[in-house]
């Protein structure tokens, strides 16, 4: 079977060969439980986990003791949001959460679930370019607000929010600030020491690590705060996340962080150039338009709408030669335009005919040339013969 050119790196990425090589010994030879304290098998596993914790911390400028391993970003996000709102230490009356309408479902669904449990929430709108209005952020933060959750970079448009300014607003109001950095970690430089961020979620498979492993950064220092654990039963991860540690996955996450840190500067330049080549060629075609801010965005992503084509047939035809999507893999079961594009004021029809292109380490100039040719010929065919 001839696989299409892969341009959906926001959905997932292939495991880097260096990452796989680092993981393999921990499936067979060094298979110990990291919590086994009485023999070398456990010691080797524990050492590997702590090394990976150091590698993960280094990539985002954190301390190793601020990194907690989870099963992925969804768990990390749930642990961050629910952990703050259910904490016994949360001041009485602080039962309000502020987030953004364009967040990933892992955030939105968690906040909605908490609303069912008696908490209140504000869902901030975004401007046409996908950015939040800082004045609206400031206005939404009240004396009852316990947590503000704004993603670093949008998974559909690549738009990067002004984290520094948002975090400063939260600090001034005594509100904890969490960010879903799943699409940003390993793609753009992130240093939590330079950002007023209290919690940050990441996932290995978004930057060439294995699936099923992620981490939550939890800031230490003043002002102090505590999280309520979602899982109990063993006291792993310093009591915050019980469960036998996924040692091979954790090793893979750590190695992925190391590789990303080494490649990030060169890949940022290379991918932004390829993205711009793809984008400029597509925008010469009739009825095309980029969705999202053109200055504040990830280097490897563009989201483009194509007017005058039937959405379902459009994606089917495109995916014969290039693997792309219309939005988040987690919400691809619906045929509606994505909630992200709708929140940006994009019509249902245009939103359904929008395509997210996510380039990656394997993407070449030849891939871009083939993609442009295929998009052009497919667009002409569908516009001539609409279904």
334 Cβ neighbours under 8 A, 6+ residues apart: none
Indicate the pLDDT class of residue 110, thresholds 50, 70 and 90. Answer: very high
**Structural domains in the chain, sorted by start:** 5-11+264-384 (3.90.1150.10), 17-258 (3.40.640.10)
The number of beta carbons lying within 10 Å of the beta carbon of residue 309 is 23
Residue 272 pLDDT greater than 80, yes or no: yes
CA distance 226 to 84: 7
For residue 47, report the phi and psi dihedrals to the nearest 5 degrees.
Answer: -60, -40
**pTM given for the model:** 0.94
Residue 276 pLDDT greater than 90, yes or no: yes
CA distance 97 to 364: 43
Residue 34 pLDDT greater than 60, yes or no: yes
CA distance 285 to 271: 22
330 is catalytic: yes
Residue 256 pLDDT greater than 80, yes or no: yes
- What's the pLDDT score for residue 35? 74
User: Is the distance from CB of 160 to CB of 300 less than 8 angstroms?
Assistant: no
Catalytic choice (139, 316, 330, 369): 330
User: Tokens representing 106?
Assistant: 């892992």
Rounded to an integer, the average pLDDT of 156-173 is 96
- What's the pLDDT score for residue 179? 98
User: Is the distance from CB of 12 to CB of 211 less than 8 angstroms?
Assistant: yes
């Amino acid at each position: 079977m001839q696989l299409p050119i892969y341009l959906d790196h926001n959905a997932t990425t292939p495991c880097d060969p260096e990452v796989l090589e680092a993981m393999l010994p921990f499936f067979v030879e060094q298979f110990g439980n990291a919590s086994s304290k009485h023999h070398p098998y456990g010691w080797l596993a524990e050492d590997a986990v702590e090394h990976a914790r150091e590698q993960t911390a280094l990539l985002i400028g954190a301390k190793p003791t601020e990194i907690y391993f989870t099963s992925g970003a969804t768990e990390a996000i749930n642990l961050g949001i629910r952990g703050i709102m259910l904490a016994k230490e949360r001041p009485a009356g602080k039962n309000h959460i502020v987030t953004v309408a364009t967040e990933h479902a892992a955030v939105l669904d968690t906040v909605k679930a908490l609303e069912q449990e008696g908490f209140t929430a504000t869902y901030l709108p975004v401007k046409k370019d996908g950015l939040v209005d800082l004045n609206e952020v400031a206005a939404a933060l009240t004396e009852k607000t316990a947590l503000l959750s704004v993603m670093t970079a949008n998974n559909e448009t690549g738009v990067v929010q002004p984290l520094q300014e948002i975090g400063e607003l939260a600090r001034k109001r005594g509100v904890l600030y969490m960010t879903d950095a799943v699409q940003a970690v390993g793609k753009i430089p992130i240093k939590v020491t330079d950002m007023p961020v209290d919690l940050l979620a990441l996932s290995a498979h978004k930057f060439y690590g294995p699936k099923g492993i992620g981490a939550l950064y939890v800031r230490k220092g003043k002002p102090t705060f505590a999280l309520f654990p979602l899982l109990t039963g063993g006291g792993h991860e310093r009591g915050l996340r019980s469960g036998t540690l996924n040692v091979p996955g954790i090793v893979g996450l750590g190695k992925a962080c190391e590789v990303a840190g080494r490649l990030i500067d060169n890949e940022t330049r290379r991918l932004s150039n390829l993205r711009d080549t793809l984008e400029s060629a597509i925008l010469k075609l009739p009825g095309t338009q980029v969705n999202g801010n053109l200055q504040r965005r990830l280097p490897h992503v563009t989201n483009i709408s194509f007017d005058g084509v039937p959405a379902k047939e459009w994606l089917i035809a495109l995916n014969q030669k290039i693997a792309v999507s219309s939005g988040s893999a987690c919400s691809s079961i619906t045929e509606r335009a994505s909630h992200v594009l709708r929140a940006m004021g994009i019509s249902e029809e245009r939103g359904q005919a929008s395509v997210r292109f996510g380039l990656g380490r394997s993407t070449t100039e030849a891939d871009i040339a083939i993609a442009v040719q295929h998009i052009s010929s497919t667009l002409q065919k569908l516009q001539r013969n609409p279904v």
